[in-house]
Structure 1
Amino acid sequence: MFILSLTYLKSNGEADRYMEAHMAWVKDGYARGWFLASGRKVPRTGGAILAIGDRTAIEAYVAADPFIIHGVAAYDITELAVTTTVEDLEILKR
């Protein structure tokens, strides 16, 4: 599993300019079966996505995020080797 932590490099107003395109990118990540959960950080300094899949493919996909393309945010990708979950979250062990 991967934790994709994004941090805004520009203002929230600038992030809002690209939010629609970013959210289309997020929805496509779900459609591909890679994204499991996502949301904004509190306070709003960026966001986070829980993802599964091949690291190389995930990294390439992150590079295509409109937030990256327009310099709005930077990503930190952390791989987590999940060993224990509640019963309904076994998918995280992939």
Structure 2
Amino acid sequence: MLILSLTYLKANEEADRYMEPHMAWVKEGYDRGWFLASGRKVPRTGGLILSAGDRAEVEAYVAADPFTVHGVARYEITEVAITTVVEGLEKLKD
């Protein structure tokens, strides 16, 4: 499991300029089967994505996110070996 934590480097107005292409990028991550859950941080300082993809492939994909390309956000990728989950979230386990 990979936790992709993105932090805005620019104002929310700048993030909003690239939100549509970023969300298309997020949708493609789901279509590839890599992304399991995603959403905004509260307060809105960035976002979080739970990913089951291969780390090298996901890192390359993160580099192509419009937020990364335009310097809107930076990503921190944390790998976690999930061992215990509630019923229904078995897909999160390694």
**TM-score bin (small chain):** over 0.9
Cα distance in 1 for residues equivalent to 2:55 and 2:80: 11
Alignment of 1:61-76 (within 5 A): 61-76=61-76
Gaps of 5+ in 1: none
Structure 1 residue 53, shift from structure 2 partner: 1.6
Cα distance in 2 for residues equivalent to 1:40 and 1:87: 25
Q: Larger % of helix: which? A: 1
CA RMSD of the aligned region, Å? 0.5
Alignment of 1:1-94 (within 5 A): 1-94=1-94
Cα distance in 2 for residues equivalent to 1:39 and 1:90: 20
Gaps of 5+ in 2: none
The size of the alignment, in residue pairs, is 94
- Post-superposition, which runs of at least 4 consecutive aligned residues in structure 1 deviate over 2 A? none
Three-state SS of the structure 2 residue aligned to 1:82 is coil
Cα distance in 1 for residues equivalent to 2:54 and 2:6: 19
Give TM-score scaled by structure 1 length.
Answer: 0.98
Q: How far does the alpha carbon of each residue in 1:7-65 deviate from its partner, in whole angstroms, 9 at most, with x for none? A: 00000000000000000000000000000000000000000000002100010000000
Query: Percent of pairs identical after alignment?
Result: 77
Cα distance in 2 for residues equivalent to 1:27 and 1:34: 10
Give TM-score scaled by structure 2 length.
Answer: 0.98
